[in-house]
Amino acid sequence: MATYRLRRWSVEASVWQAPEVRDIHLVGYRNDETEHRVITSPIVDIKGKVITTQSGSVYLLEDIDPEYLRWMQENGINFDPENPIKDKRSK
């Protein structure tokens, strides 16, 4: 299982699914030698800043994308840096 650090991250939802079953994905830049932008497979587990995706990759969230943070603030979504992603889908 590969583990990556993800910088300037945000969350996106699959557009072509009903809201109650919509997959959520991470988007950001892997913290390696390249400026490789990634869109992950769907998120399957959230433990604080450690996110596991359907492919088995694990991402450690670093800095949030400033524009995503601004969007959250404008929409009244509280940002908790220790638990940055809330999955509101029923499990």
CA 69, CA 76: separation in Å to the nearest integer? 11
Q: What is the pLDDT of residues 26-35, one digit of tens each?
A: 999 987 666 7
Q: What element of type H or E holds 69? A: helix 66-74
Domain range annotation of the chain? 3-74
User: Whole-model pTM?
Assistant: 0.83
> Residue-wise over 37-74: b if at least 16 C-beta within 10 A, else e?
ebebeebeebeebebbbeeebebebeebbeebeeebee
Least Cα distance to 53 among 91, 83, 23, 20 occurs for 23
Looking at residue 3, what is its pLDDT?
A: 87
Identity at 40, one-letter amino acid code: T
Please state the rounded mean pLDDT for residues 8-21: 75
Q: What is the pLDDT of residues 30-74, one digit of tens each?
A: 876 667 788 999 999 999 999 999 999 999 999 999 999 999 999
